[in-house]
Structure formats: structure tokens, C-alpha cells
Amino acid sequence: MRIAVIDMGTNTFHLLIAEVDGSHFTVIHKEREAVRVGEHGLRDEWISLEAQTRALNSLTRFRKIADEFSVSKIFATATSAIRNAANGLDLVQMIKDTTDIDVKIISGMEEAAYIHQGVKRALDLTEGTSLIMDIGGGSIEFIVVKDGEVMWMESFEIGGQRLIENFHKTDPITFSEIQNLENYFEKSLQRLHEACRVFKPTTLVGSSGTFDTLSDIYRMEEGIERTESAELPISLDHYYDIHKELITKTRAERLEIPGMIDMRVDMIVVASVLITYILQRYDLIKLRVSAYALKEGVLLSILDLLKEQERKAVKGKTKTGE
């Protein structure tokens, strides 16, 4: 069976198509598109007509690709920008009418749970305490995992696009803007501060776009070949070197960094300020990057559901003597 998962993020839409067999899957196609559905609308909680058009065009194209791969079922999720927009449900209905794709708007906590599902398949988190961090355009999810068990999770509506709109006005970013960001994090992340005080994580585990790009920059600098590993290469020392580049270079200069891509070149600055704040605020001593995130978590949850349905069907046949 082939399943498609579409992750409709605030900045980027992702398509993942997988061949599934029981609890295992093999990715046969994946791609992303910078749809920027939250552009110019996050503050007003409204999806602009231009953003709606980009979203519809992207989903129409994804639908065509899914059909070409003979996908049996498409599962689409929408996150921060769409769940907070006053016209988010209208966009979901337009997508249904145009593409026949049912979009599920998920809560921040559901988003965090899916991210955890994806990351725990990619990385062994059974020893020690880790803080998982996923930086989206609209929201940021944090999950504390101790010896393989989730101790705490929360979603904060302070994603990268929101931070750009509110704090990053100059290029390159100024020292005062960085200070303003750090002051904002100190006030906005009180519940995270308390969770980290209680559970004392030592490792930061990053997932999704910004961390993917940071790993690509590190890999290019070190001459490391790209592999299909579920854990992406990074080192804490090299991360700090990359961070210094990101906060001192202009947009044009950042684009010239090997491994940088256009869809990340803006948000990666405020994201890096946040990552550095988190690392230093909680004295974290290790950095890891997961290749799996929300869309893989959604896929794994679907596999669990299919497995449970199959189990119930077998049980039902046994009871009826078939």
C-alpha cells in the first residue's frame, strides 16, 4: 500500500509518499515547496488571497503527484497559520472542493505529539534526558524525553515567521535585536523554563527545516557525504561557528554559505538566535538532529491505526468463527 502525507506548515508545505508494510515504511518520494501561507497574515490571523492561491496550487500539484504514484490514501495536516486564521476553515474547504483532499487542522499539542513520534523512530532517546525542539514558521514545539518517556510537551505560538515580523528589521541582525529576542524568549517560555528546571535535559534534539539546513551547512564544511541516515550530522562546536556567521552576514552573504537554501535564508537567523538561547539557558552539552519530524510522525501514527484495525478485524473473524 502507498500512503501520502502532506504537512502544510506556515512557510513550507511537505509531501511524503511511502510504501507501507505493517509497521515499516519506505519513502519513495518526498519534496517541499515554499508556499508561505502565513506571509503578511500571522499578525492579523488572516490568510491572504495570494497565500490561498499558492496553497491551492501546491495541493493541486501534490494531488497530481500522489495520483501518479498510485497512492491509496492521502493524509494532510495543517498547523499554526491555518489553525489560527479566521478564514482557515474556508481554505480547508476550498482545498477539499478543488483537490478532494481532506485537511485536518491539528492543535499545537497534537503537532508536538506527532513530532515526538517521528523523532523517537529516528533517534535512540532511551538514555538520559533530551529536549526536542521543532521550529516552525508559526509555532515552536518542545518535548522533554527522559529515558525514552515523554515527561512534558508544549507548543508555543512564537514561530520563526512571527519572530521575523516582530524583531528582525535590519540586515544583518543587530545586537539590540538579538537582545530583544532573548528578552522575549525569557518572558514567553516560562513554562519551558520550569520544565527544564525540573527535568534537567542535557541534549538538544532538533527536527525540521532550520536544523536540516544547519546540518547541511556543517556537512558541506566538513565534506561529509549525504546519507539516508535518520540522524543528521552536526556538532555543538561547529554549530556555534555557523551561528556567528548567520548573525553577522547579510542575506546575500548567507545565501553564499554552502548548504544554505533560499527558503531558509531569512528564518534561520532568528531560529539560530533561539537555538543558541536554549543551549545556553539550560546548559545543554550535546546537539543532535533528527531527519524525521511531523510528517513521519503522522505516517507512523497511521501505520499504528491500520495495524489496530487489522487486529480488530482478525479478532472479529475469530469470534464469528469465520
- pLDDT interval class at 315 (50, 70, 90): confident
> What's the average model confidence in pLDDT over 39-68?
94
Query: How far, CA to CA in Å, does 299 sit from each of 18, 25, 42, 155, 305?
Result: 8, 9, 28, 20, 10
Residue 224 belongs to some domain of the structure: yes
Q: Of the candidates 64, 62, 49, 70, which has an alpha carbon nearest to the alpha carbon of residue 8? A: 62
Pair (152, 263) in one structural domain: yes
The whole domain housing 269 covers 124-291
Beta bridge partners of 21: 24
Number of domains in the chain: 2
Q: Which domain CATH number covers 258?
A: 3.30.420.150
Pair (179, 228) in one structural domain: yes
> What's the average model confidence in pLDDT over 148-159?
97
Torsion, CA 159, CA 257, CA 118, CA 20, rounded to 10 = 130
Per-residue pLDDT tens for 67-108? 999 999 999 999 999 999 999 999 999 999 999 999 999 999
In DSSP notation, 119-174 reads HHHHS--SSSEEEEEEE-SS-EEEEEEETTEEEEEEEES--HHHHHHHH--SSSPP
Pair (92, 32) in one structural domain: yes
Pair (81, 156) in one structural domain: no
pLDDT at 122: 96
For the chain, the straight-line distance linking the first and the last C-alpha, in angstroms and rounded, comes to: 25
29 CB-side CA count, 13 A: 15
